[in-house]
Amino acid sequence: MVGGAHPILLIAVPLFFVFLIVFFSSFFKGIVKYLPIIAFGINLIVIYQLIPEVLGKGMVISTTAGFKPPLAIDIVVDRLSLILAAIGSVLGFLVAIYNVSYIDEEPQERYYALFTLLVTGIIWMVVTGDIFNLFVAFEVTSIAAFGLVGFHRDQGAVEAGFKYLVMGSIGGGMLLVGIIMLYAATGTLNMVDLAQKSVHLTFGQKFLAYSMIFIGLGIEGALFPLNAWLPDAHPAAPSSVSAILSGIMTTAAIYALYRLTNLMFDYKQIYTILLFFGLLTLIFGEVSAYFQQDIKRMLAYSTIGQTGLFFFAFALDSANGFQGSIMQIINHSVSKALLFLVTGGMILRIGSRKIEDFAGLGRKMKFSSFFLAIGAFSLMGLPPFFGFWSKLKIIFAALQNPNFFMVASVVIILLMSVVEGAYFFKLLQNMYFGKPAENLQISEAPAGILISFTILGLILIFISVYPTPIINLTHQVANDLMSKSYINIALRLGGL
Amino acid sequence: MNASLELLLATPFIGGLLAFIGGKVHRWIRNLIAIIFSFATAFEIIGYYNVTIKGIVWGKLFGSDLILQTNPITWLFLFIVTSASFLIVLFSIDDMRKEEDELKLDAYYMYLLFVEGAMVGIVLAGDLITFFMFWEIMSWTSYFLIIHGGKRSMAAGYKYIIMSVIGAYAMFLAMAMLYAKAHSLVYTDVANVLLHSSPAFVIWTIVLLAIGFFVKAAVMPLHTWLPDAHSEAPSPVSPLLSGVLIKMGAYGLFVVLYGLISVKLAGSLMPSVFSTPLLLYIIQWLAALSIVLATFLAIMQEDAKRLLAYSSISQIGYVVLGIATGTSLGVAGGLFHALNHAIFKGLLFLVVGAVIYRTGTRNLSELGGLIKKMPFSFVALLLGIIALAGVPPLNGFVSKWMIYEALLQKKEVFLLIMAFVGSTGAFLYVYRLVHSIFLGQLPKKYENVKDVPILMQIPIWVLALLTIVLGIMPGLAMNVIVKGMAFFGFKPIAYNLFGFPQGTAMGALTTINISAGLAIAFVVAWILFILFPKSRKVSQYDNYAAGQVVTEDLKYNYSYGFYMSFSRVIKPILKWSIERVYNYWVEAAKIFGDYYMRRIYTGNLETYNAYIVIVITLAAAFVLLGGKIW
Amino acid sequence: MIYYIGSLLLIAVGLYAVLVKSNLIKIIIGLNFISSGVNLLIISVGYINNGTAPIFSRLGLNPNTMVDPIPQALTLTAIVIDASELALAVAFVVLLYRHYKTLDIKKIRSLKW
């Protein structure tokens, strides 16, 4: 443990609360729904303590089990991890508040246990410094997600959950194969150690391992064509869970891909392949989203599209691209979570997921509609919202060295942005100016829901109006990635 | 001074927010805030008259400065934006009162002020990021204004926003390409880079930027959103769109053509036609086509606002035509026409809005005979259409004259003829307005109609007065335009308060003489009319048609299919609708997306698993090939 | 080497089952094949012919003949994960059968497009 901050608490505390939830559920059920709030509240405090140290030194490492890495598993928080862990904790905290009003279906204690486990797994995935530990976190997240997707236990939820489970299990298997290949070739599981030892491997060896890891994380991270589970699973889950799944879980898997690609597989060829994956994901996501009648399904496809966008930006393999990608991740996480939370409240009130049934809600649920509009605007990349800055950065980065392929890609991205605008404006128009079905008698969303998405919406407005700190931070992160300072700082701080 | 540019930019935005919050308290607080802040914005620009501020940095983004600047041309557009917005806010107070939903009204004033602020931002922008940012804000805020109009306006607004977004992204692409080269998007830096770029690059940049501007300015063939949006928008929004918003496209075109590149540079990059660089020549032709075709279309309309909307396309064609001539006189004419069009088209839309306010319809064939009931509106409309048709002594004449003169000097006869045709056609359709709304037979249901409330009359009269003032004293506007154009490197043109002195290349024009002559002729005719009355006043129904006595329920004046025979002649030309081409492609894309792309997610788990296996196989194949397929 | 081939074959068989079989139970068995194959792969990575357990149970054991302990730890973890996944899958199958009255995955496709 280094200094005053203890990154391991990020995982340990919520895991402890998972057990507490199960423990209390048998005799003191009333308290169960408030435990996740406490857990992620503590997480937020830990994150807050970590901020100065991580920003100052670039990284905080804490080791486990009294050994030194690479023998022991270590928890490594650098700037990129911190951003994602912070998003994860904030979302976890807000959605925990949301849950209080939202979840009234039994068995509640299992929901809360799985929910806490899901968010913990996600945070775990982004802070771990050990590749097998990454796999464990990945599986913890996946299993919690499988369970939560099927939580409603109706026809759609079960079907989506099963499909997700089959695909996710294959993905987990492939990821493990890739990890074992790396281990077989280098004899270590620590990421920093791996990065150093893997330089001796041939490209073929590396690529084989990489493709396995890519398939594993790509399934979870919603990359086309591995993402077929997503449009089923995200709508089928309770909206609170959809917000986590769309907002941060796919992003966490993408983070792991970023990290591993950047540390070990930094080849031009690989990045070129990734570019195509990003573009294809973008195209298929956005085009499919346009044709949806079900709002949550539409948002799920839009998640695929956004993933494609920031993955494309990452695959540009330049500091500007990385920066744009991370900015877009932040934008996507906040906005998409906001959209899912708001629509969750609306669906609760009107009892339908059909977009046409949202007609006239703009007047009945003013706050919800307002924040829905803001989230949609930010996703579309309209100024002055944060999505505008990130899209600007991505396009600028893509055209840094304009050649035919890049210009064509940018044209595709912009066309897809038009498609995105088309379906979001259709939604907003219907919501604000559509004729409500008969005399619709509905009120604003319940308090817990309202509070959580209002806070999230205010965060979005704040970073939209004052993006400078985030732009600066992501600029640093991009430089970290470019210079692979992950390795250097980790070595200096005794992460190895 | 420096901070106040930011203040000028912030005023409407703050006003919009305050108006929205104020609306929660009371609607008059909201109205008052809207009036005060729109007036404050208009008031603030007085301080910038003929002031040039080279640029103040208001922010920094990705290593490029965000800059605000002002010069006399900026001031011209600032004047259009802020004064028109103020008048429109005044007009809205009464006109929008029929809207019962207070929340919608709060939002309405907020968006109105936001649009104003965004346009102020566009005009003040000293770099492309700022420009583009406010451009996009303008797009979506004006979209919300348009769809205030009800069910049909939703489709119109949707078309508008999608086309705007496409145009904006075309600009965005150009911007990004420029950024890659210049690493800064400040106008001066961009201009420097363009000076040393390959011709292909410059041409692509201009074309992409021009697509964005042409969508907003509704230059054919990118105009298809305008007729729907302008006619379906609420009455006070139409003048904002027609008078001001589409001018932003013209302003953008001006900045790009003369701020980022220059005619000389353009001429050195591409062949010239009629001593005009080819690209400019093409733009001229597009503008001329807009003038002619939109005029024809306007003639055939039955809907007063749709008629004016097509007329806007035609008039903005003059603006673009003037700006694209590249000569001092032509550009000055184009800019002046932008101002004039804002005035008279704003006036016309407001009068039609007033008529709609009282009668509830904008269908020309249902109206008629309102001259007795709304005399003030009639006079204002008369002034507006005289100005629009480009007849002296009102303002439309001077600017059109300058554009004709510029074309004549360049010997571009075809374009000149087209411009003339547009002007002549304008007589036809504006006459339609007077005839169908104010003359003829008064339908029974409008017996009790009277002129609109005073708050709605003020904006109408201010604009009507301006058409006369600028018609007689064009020098007031030329003051600003010529100084501003010097800033962009144009040779100054000689002018005085009442037109252009003798002895310059373009010949003399003295509006005071023309006006005086006209006034004398008018007075003489009037005296003659009084002295030698030949006609006898009779009731409207003391008449006969087709051998029958006219009764009140029978319409005896033409109002539907007014120019039937003319339409029959031009119909073959208008058979090819550009809109249908777009719709065809959109439908084709939709079918393609729906039937092919969307079938990827079949719902069949086996298919999904097959995707995974395919990826695994591809990866394995890649490794077996040694990882060297390229 | 034989272990590698064996484990890869197991994975391939599992993928085949998941890909081709339409019975839910068979799909789950396929998943299990994959995870068994992966586990075998992990073990074989650390395996040494005629190796001993990596425990210094008596003196004189040569560390070079010991099998690598880490893969064994990994396998244990992986087995636990696989088991929980399997349990969840079976639970889903029960629920699916209640809703659809069939075990044919081809007929369970109410969510599409």
pLDDT digits (tens, 9 = 90+) for A234-257: 888 888 888 899 888 899 999 998
pLDDT of B629 over the 50 cut? no
Cα A403–chain centre separation: 31
pLDDT of A3 over the 60 cut? no
Cα–Cα distance for residue pair A414/B572, rounded to 1 Å: 37
Cα–Cα distance for residue pair B388/B311, rounded to 1 Å: 9
Query: Which H or E run contains B68?
Result: strand B64-70
B570-583 b/e (C-beta count within 10 Å ≥ 16 → b):
beeeeeeeeeeeee
Cα–Cα distance for residue pair B438/B451, rounded to 1 Å: 12
Cα–Cα distance for residue pair A328/A258, rounded to 1 Å: 14
Task: Mutation target for C interface from A154, A159, A284: give the one with most C CBs within 10 A.
Answer: A159
Please name the residues between 57 and 76 in chain C that touch chain A, using a CB distance below 8 Å: 70-71, 74
List CB contacts (< 8 A) between B610 and chain C. 19
Cα–Cα distance for residue pair A375/A33, rounded to 1 Å: 27
Which of helix, strand or coil describes residue B302?
Answer: coil
pLDDT of B375 over the 80 cut? no
Which sign, positive or negative, has the C-alpha torsion A346, A348, A352, A357?
A: negative
Q: What is the pLDDT of residues B257-274, one digit of tens each?
A: 887 777 666 667 777 766
- Quickly state the pLDDT bin for B250 (edges 50, 70, 90): confident
Please name the residues between 23 and 62 in chain C that touch chain B, using a CB distance below 8 Å: 27
Domain boundaries, chain A: 267-465
Contact between A132 and C74 using a beta-carbon 8 Å cutoff? yes
Residue range B83-101: average pLDDT? 79
Residue B547: its pLDDT value, please?
65
Residue range A83-112: average pLDDT? 85
Cα–Cα distance for residue pair B528/B531, rounded to 1 Å: 5
Residue B626 has its nearest CB partner, among A204, A211, A383, at A204
Contact between C85 and A176 using a beta-carbon 8 Å cutoff? no
Instruction: Give the least confident one: A247-256, B112-121, B463-472.
Output: B463-472
Cα–Cα distance for residue pair A394/A409, rounded to 1 Å: 11
Residue A495: its pLDDT value, please?
55
- A177, burial (CB in 10 Å: exposed 0-12, middle 13-18, buried 19+): buried
Domain boundaries, chain B: 271-540, 577-624
Residue range B375-401: average pLDDT? 79
Residue range B79-84: average pLDDT? 86
Contact between C112 and B603 using a beta-carbon 8 Å cutoff? yes
| A220 close to C (CB below 8 A) | no
DSSP letters of B505-552?
Answer: TT--EEHHHHHHHHHHHHHHHHHHHHHS-------TTS-EETTEE--T
Q: What is the pLDDT of residues B487-508, one digit of tens each?
A: 777 777 777 767 676 555 556 6
Instruction: Give the neighbours of chain B: at least 3 Cβ pairs within 8 Å.
Output: A, C
Q: Which residue has the tokens 């420097």?
A: B192
pLDDT of A53 over the 60 cut? yes
Question: Quick check: A233 and A118 in contact, CB under 8 A?
Answer: no
Contact between B612 and A417 using a beta-carbon 8 Å cutoff? no
Contact between A363 and B101 using a beta-carbon 8 Å cutoff? yes
* Nearest alpha carbon to residue A232 among B372, B600, B382: B600
List CB contacts (< 8 A) between A212 and chain B. 619
Contact between B606 and C108 using a beta-carbon 8 Å cutoff? no
Question: Quick check: B189 and B180 in contact, CB under 8 A?
Answer: no
List CB contacts (< 8 A) between C106 and chain B. 604, 606
Residue B191: its pLDDT value, please?
79
DSSP letters of C35-91?
Answer: HHHHHHHHHHHH--TT-B-SS--STT--GGGBPPHHHHHHHHHHHHHHHHHHHHHHH
Contact between A228 and B608 using a beta-carbon 8 Å cutoff? yes
Cα–Cα distance for residue pair B482/B331, rounded to 1 Å: 10
Q: What is the pLDDT of residues A453-492, one digit of tens each?
A: 899 999 999 988 888 888 888 888 888 888 888 877 777 7
Cα–Cα distance for residue pair B403/B284, rounded to 1 Å: 12
pTM: 0.88
Contact between C110 and A177 using a beta-carbon 8 Å cutoff? no
Question: Quick check: B131 and B119 in contact, CB under 8 A?
Answer: no
Residue B173 has its nearest CB partner, among A225, A228, A414, at A414
Looking at chain B, the whole-number percentage of residues with pLDDT higher than 70 is 85
Cα–Cα distance for residue pair A186/B158, rounded to 1 Å: 58
Residue A4: its pLDDT value, please?
59
Cα–Cα distance for residue pair A485/A58, rounded to 1 Å: 8
Chain B: residue whose CA lies nearest to C12: B613
Q: What is the pLDDT of residues A261-289, one digit of tens each?
A: 888 888 888 888 888 888 988 988 888 88
Residue B605 has its nearest CB partner, among C15, C105, C110, at C105
ipTM beyond cut 0.85:
yes
| B28 close to A (CB below 8 A) | no
Q: Which residue has the tokens 């430089």?
A: A479
Residue A331: its pLDDT value, please?
92
DSSP letters of B122-179?
Answer: HHHB-BHHHHHHHHHHHHHHHHHHHGGG-HHHHHHHHHHHHHHHHHHHHHHHHHHHHH
Question: Quick check: A210 and A270 in contact, CB under 8 A?
Answer: yes
**Max mean pLDDT range (A3-12, B192-201, C13-22):** C13-22
Please name the residues between 168 and 207 in chain B that touch chain A, using a CB distance below 8 Å: 169-170, 172-173, 176-177, 179-180
In the Cβ-directed half-sphere of A349, how many Cα atoms lie within 13 Å?
Answer: 25
Which of helix, strand or coil describes residue B496?
Answer: strand
- Give the pair of three-digit tokens for residue A335: 């906005």
Q: What is the pLDDT of residues A398-421, one digit of tens each?
A: 888 778 888 888 888 888 888 888
| B623 close to C (CB below 8 A) | no
Cα–Cα distance for residue pair A36/A112, rounded to 1 Å: 7
Contact between C113 and B601 using a beta-carbon 8 Å cutoff? yes
pLDDT of C43 over the 50 cut? yes
In the Cβ-directed half-sphere of B165, how many Cα atoms lie within 13 Å?
Answer: 27
Residue A1: its pLDDT value, please?
40
Q: What is the pLDDT of residues B515-568, one digit of tens each?
A: 777 778 878 887 887 777 666 666 666 666 666 666 655 555 555 666 666 767
Residue range A363-376: average pLDDT? 84
Q: Which residue has the tokens 């104010």?
A: B438
| B503 close to C (CB below 8 A) | no
* Nearest alpha carbon to residue A407 among A419, A395, A421, A390: A395
Beta partners for A386?
none
Cα–Cα distance for residue pair B59/B9, rounded to 1 Å: 14
Domains by residue range for chain C, with CATH: 2-55+62-107 (1.10.287.3510)
- pLDDT, chain A, mean: 85
Q: How many CB atoms lie within 10 A of CB A188?
A: 22
- Give the pair of three-digit tokens for residue B40: 């404050």
Residue range B164-182: average pLDDT? 85
